[in-house]
């Protein structure tokens, strides 16, 4: 039988350990992923060049593309993902994801709004009255606070 839920403290995310960005694509032109990475690099200038990569997936897994930006801290890892869709440029996708990640890193929040949203139920079940400090609340989180 699983043990009872216990409260955990989600206040200090700790020091930034590493960052990475990966553009994934399948059954699309390499240029799309390359433009995503170039845009993200420009908008996240403190990230080392070697932190970025492009990964081509098997054709049968496409068509599609995504940009994953990851920031690993001592106590938590934040991942921001942008998914490609028709009519949205690679640059726009990367700009949105990079701005979200940049905003999170610049804040002192323990968790981004989507992770904080996912932590609300376990916190409530554990009897924790406070929610984790997050960057701006998501639309899902607001009614539950």
Residues catalogued as catalytic: 140
In 44-135, which residue ranges form alpha helices assigned H by DSSP? Answer: 90-106, 113-125
End-to-end CA distance of the chain: 30
Cis peptide before 122 (omega within 30 of 0): no
Q: How far apart are CA 145 and CA 81, in angstroms?
A: 25
Q: How far apart are CA 17 and CA 120, in angstroms?
A: 26
3-class secondary structure, 133: coil
Q: How far apart are CA 21 and CA 36, in angstroms?
A: 10
């Amino acid at each position: 039988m699983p043990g009872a839920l216990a409260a955990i403290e989600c206040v200090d995310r700790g020091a930034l350990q590493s960052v990475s960005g990966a553009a994934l694509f399948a059954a699309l032109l390499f240029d799309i992923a390359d433009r995503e990475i170039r845009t993200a690099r420009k908008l996240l200038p403190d990230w080392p060049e070697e932190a970025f990569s492009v990964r081509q997936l098997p054709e049968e897994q496409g068509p599609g593309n995504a940009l994953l930006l990851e920031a690993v801290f001592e106590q938590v890892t934040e991942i921001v993902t942008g998914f490609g869709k028709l009519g949205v440029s690679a640059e726009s996708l990367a700009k949105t994801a990079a701005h979200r990640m940049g905003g999170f890193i610049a804040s002192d929040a323990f968790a981004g709004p989507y992770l904080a949203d996912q932590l609300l139920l376990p916190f409530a079940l554990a009897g924790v009255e406070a929610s984790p400090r997050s960057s701006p609340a998501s639309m899902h989180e607001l009614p539950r606070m």
